[in-house]
Structure 1
């Protein structure tokens, strides 16, 4: 099977039209039709049912569409990774949302610089929940992810497990409380996350947010409140406050990277990250625990 033929088939299968697929690919329709027929001959199955009025996927075509998408995405990701690996100035690209390092990144970078395999670090700031897709797509080498991300195709290590707090404007009805429960947040307007959900409280659907700066501004304006990891405290301005949510489940921050990576620089970065967490846990572990466990609970 040739990648070109597979790409042509995926375009037709998604458009369910040879005419629209040819326009999308920027080619004439006859060579597109020949390529799909050639692919069917290679596989020995019918992929598309064609009539004068419609194009429909067969069962085999539906299977190849899903598998073909993954194969083409993997090919594109491999191309990006190979190009980055072959650059004359080697570097690692770290994907993370703004203020999404739990306060660990400065120490991680300092520890990484002492590693023999250290290279330059390029930080790719992204919106909520976009890190995993950037890693799978070959746009980034390593990422810091929160909550319950889809780690399909990725290896990972948990760095932090944090309790959650609700961030509200200073004039909010709950602003003076020492603690709250999820029930106290009933009826509050919650943000619509552009990626996977990051909070656990139910509420009225509010504005869509993509990054931490936008979210904090909306909270300060009284447009929404949000349930976030407690490490967000380090980035708050004077116009918002955070209150622990007693019954919100803990949330984790993980470091993740593509499966089967063989990059010595990446291995050194992960080693530096887990080493920083172990060191902090040994000094300031939960409830005075000085065991030096690799996962610190904040």
Structure 2
């Protein structure tokens, strides 16, 4: 298969309309239809069910949509990493580290300071992202390394090293009755009236259904908690970033959170290897 054919198919599969897909791709509809038909002949399967009024994916088409997206992401990642490798070879070395905004701030600061003092250290650009985005940015080649948090982020297909495991706390408005307790349980948090947990976007960018407010980063979340509109169970290390109008109480039966540093398994960057060694030492 050619990447051009995959791009054409993914556009049609996502739009389920040849006209809209052709407009999105910037081509005429007839060559798009011919390309999809040629792809189906090459694979020997029907990818789309076409009627005069609708287009739908077959079971084989649904599989190719998932696999095609992954293949196109891998091609784009290869392009980005190749360009960065060329810059490094031309005397412009550097690393891009991605992390969720407001997470692991103290750990990140110590890591960057320690690495900067190492012989041969290169500049590290820090890319702050929204909730759940750092894994995607690492996989698609826009970042060389990421700080991820299990069990919320997946490290499947990546190399990684564990840096820290910690408990969790519930973050509440300062002065809330529950803040007078030394510790609480998840059942206590679930029973909080008027303070629903936030809704964070999933890997596809959509929000799950529920009563809680939609958030994209911790700055939004902290503001909503301070206003008495939400509560949140977060890693213990968030205490370092809490405002004075917020309070945290340990949740004794919440699952632990493990911060890991992760990178693509095929990386051969000496600079990245140095950063990983520094992280493990810390």
What displacement does 1:102 show? 5.4
What displacement does 1:69 show? 1.4
- Secondary structure of the corresponding residue to residue 145 of structure 1: strand
- Indicate if the aligned counterparts of 2:198 and 2:221 stay in contact, CA closer than 8 A: no
| 1:124 paired residue among 124, 127, 132 | 127
Structure 2 alignment gaps of length 5 or more: 204-209
Tell me the residue number matched to 2:206. none
What displacement does 1:52 show? 3.3
Tell me the residue number matched to 1:153. 157
Are 2:212 and 1:209 equivalent residues in the alignment? no
| 1:176 paired residue among 180, 190, 195 | 180
| 1:235 paired residue among 205, 221, 241 | 241
- Indicate if the aligned counterparts of 2:172 and 2:226 stay in contact, CA closer than 8 A: yes
Structure 1 alignment gaps of length 5 or more: 198-203, 277-298
- Indicate if the aligned counterparts of 2:102 and 2:217 stay in contact, CA closer than 8 A: no
- Secondary structure of the corresponding residue to residue 99 of structure 1: coil
Runs of 4+ aligned structure 1 residues displaced above 4 Å come to: none
What displacement does 1:64 show? 2.2
What displacement does 1:85 show? 2.3
What are the superposed Cα offsets for residues 19-54 of structure 1, whole Å, 9 maximum, x if unpaired?
221111111111112222332333344333434343
Tell me the residue number matched to 1:104. 107
CA distance in 2, matches of 1:175, 1:194: 24
- Indicate if the aligned counterparts of 2:150 and 2:258 stay in contact, CA closer than 8 A: yes
| 1:267 paired residue among 244, 249, 273 | 273
Decide which moves more: 227-236 or 14-23.
14-23
What are the superposed Cα offsets for residues 152-210 of structure 1, whole Å, 9 maximum, x if unpaired?
3322111111111111112201122222222322322233242469xxxxxx8321222
CA distance in 2, matches of 1:53, 1:98: 45
CA distance in 2, matches of 1:93, 1:115: 17
User: What is the number of equivalent residue pairs in this alignment?
Assistant: 270
CA distance in 1, matches of 2:212, 2:43: 49
What displacement does 1:117 show? 4.2
Cα RMSD, aligned residues only: 2.1
Tell me the residue number matched to 2:207. none
CA distance in 2, matches of 1:40, 1:130: 34
Q: Where in structure 2 are the equivalents of 1:49-64 lying within 5 Å? A: 49-64=49-64
- Indicate if the aligned counterparts of 1:128 and 1:210 stay in contact, CA closer than 8 A: yes
User: TM-score normalized by structure 2?
Assistant: 0.87
What displacement does 1:84 show? 2.3
Q: Where in structure 2 are the equivalents of 1:190-229 lying within 5 Å? A: 190-195=196-201, 205-229=211-235
- Secondary structure of the corresponding residue to residue 143 of structure 1: strand
CA distance in 2, matches of 1:213, 1:275: 30
Are 2:167 and 1:163 equivalent residues in the alignment? yes
Tell me the residue number matched to 1:77. 77
Q: Where in structure 2 are the equivalents of 1:12-91 lying within 5 Å? A: 12-87=12-87, 88=90, 89-91=92-94
